[in-house]
Amino acid sequence: MKSQAWWADPGPDECEFCSRFYYVEVGYYCLECDRPICPVCVVTVFERQAVLCPECHGGQ
């Protein structure tokens, strides 16, 4: 019996920012450029109620 949930295992999709593998079902999409982001790299901007990729967040 597995002790981890399926979404905690490495998935088929690779994050272009950190090269980790993740499931798209637990990922995010950048509000600015619409690129997929893994849950580790996502930047939440609470003031704007938005999630951004590290690249778009760095340009602000």
User: In this structure, are residues 22 and 16 in contact, taking their beta carbons and an 8 Å threshold?
Assistant: no
Give me the pLDDT at residue 1, please: 58
Which DSSP state fits 25? G
Indicate if the pLDDT at residue 60 is higher than 80.
Answer: no
Give me the pLDDT at residue 9, please: 83
Q: What is the pLDDT of residues 1-56, one digit of tens each?
A: 567 787 788 889 999 999 999 999 999 999 999 999 999 999 999 998 999 999 99
Domain ranges of the chain: 30-60
